[in-house]
Amino acid sequence: MIELRAWASLGGMSLLILGMLMILFGSYTYNVNVPKLESKTIFENESFIVGDIKVYKADFSKNITVTCIASIKIPATDDIGEINFYVIQGEEFQKWERGEKDAKLEIELIKTKNFNKSFKVDNEGTYYFVFDNTFSEFYKKELTFSVTIEYLTYVEETRRNYSIVYIGYLALVIGVIVTLYGLVRKPEITWM
């Protein structure tokens, strides 16, 4: 019959071997899709004069954020000017052009000075950026206009998992302790 010391030594050595195998072969790699926020400039510092109405348009896909930035001044005096600014999606733009009051506007800024406004695109399609200066009979406006979009893309990254290796180190430490206990422990003498 094998004594308790021998069982402890064998168990400890088994843990040592298992721990070493886990350390050597326990790590593995896997791929994960990581979201990355990207941005793109659609109009960059476009300068133009608005007498009555000026319209720019751009096509956008779903789930992007569009940021419109503009500075407005009166060319004759270089003073800060005001303008009406609207962002309107395709079919709604047709309603707005016909003068219908129920046209849905993504952005509506009335007599605004310099602005920095954003909106989220829910429906892909053509969007119109309307600069309306019809309220001002005397002054044309000079604008500098920029539009940027932000959207999420997914980039595949390779990662390495070491969790089994860490468990292997733990098994190795426990294996050393149990093996030493089995080798160093004094045998029990039983009286018969």
The tokens describing 104, both together, are 């849905």
Angle between the 4-25 and 163-184 helix axes, to the nearest 10 degrees? 160
DSSP state of 135: T
pTM: 0.67
Q: Which CATH class is domain 33-155?
A: mainly beta
How much is the pLDDT for 68? 94
CA distance 104 to 42: 23
Kindly list the averaged pLDDT for each block of 10 residues, start to end, along the chain of length 192.
65 84 86 90 90 91 93 86 91 87 89 92 92 86 93 90 88 85 68 60
Instruction: Tell me which residue of 39, 37, 28, 30 sits closest to 157, measured CA to CA.
Output: 30
Local structure of 140: helix, strand or coil: coil
- At residue 104, φ and ψ (nearest 5 deg) are -85, 125
Cα dist from 51 to 22, 27, 129, 158, 172, whole Å = 75, 68, 15, 55, 81
Domain boundaries, the chain: 4-27+162-184, 33-155
